[in-house]
Amino acid sequence: RVLLSEQEISARIGALGAQIARDYADKNVVLLGVLTGSFTFLADLARAMPCLCEVRFMRASSYVGTESSGKVTLSGIEKLDLTGRDVVVVEDIIDSGLTLRDIDAALADRGAASVTYCTLL
């Protein structure tokens, strides 16, 4: 069963890209994709943004099979210098919010000026 058509998804991604571009006008925002699920969404989102942005990726895992372990493991952000930077975390889907809580704390520890989230579902 199809919940959203390709055209609906494309239109929404275009609107999100335009909104992010407005929100971060005159700033070099960092789009931080959570691999692997966000890859295609992030690529489409970056193409929809008529502004300067930097794209980076990280990994976050909390699942063992289909069950959440309750423990989030983050990798790929250890060497990122985000001091004073505005970061938009791009995620494909939000489940419990546990992963985002830990990402938020990790990015704050790395000096991000602001952290917001953009999620497909």
Catalytic residues: 95
User: Percent helix, strand, coil in the chain (nearest 5)?
Assistant: 30, 35, 35
Hey, CA dihedral for 90, 96, 102, 105, is it positive or negative? positive
| Distance in angstroms between the alpha carbons of the first and the last residue of the chain | 16
Q: What is the distance between the alpha carbons of residues 25 and 7, in angstroms, rounded to a whole number?
A: 27
Amino acid identity for residue 111 in this structure = G
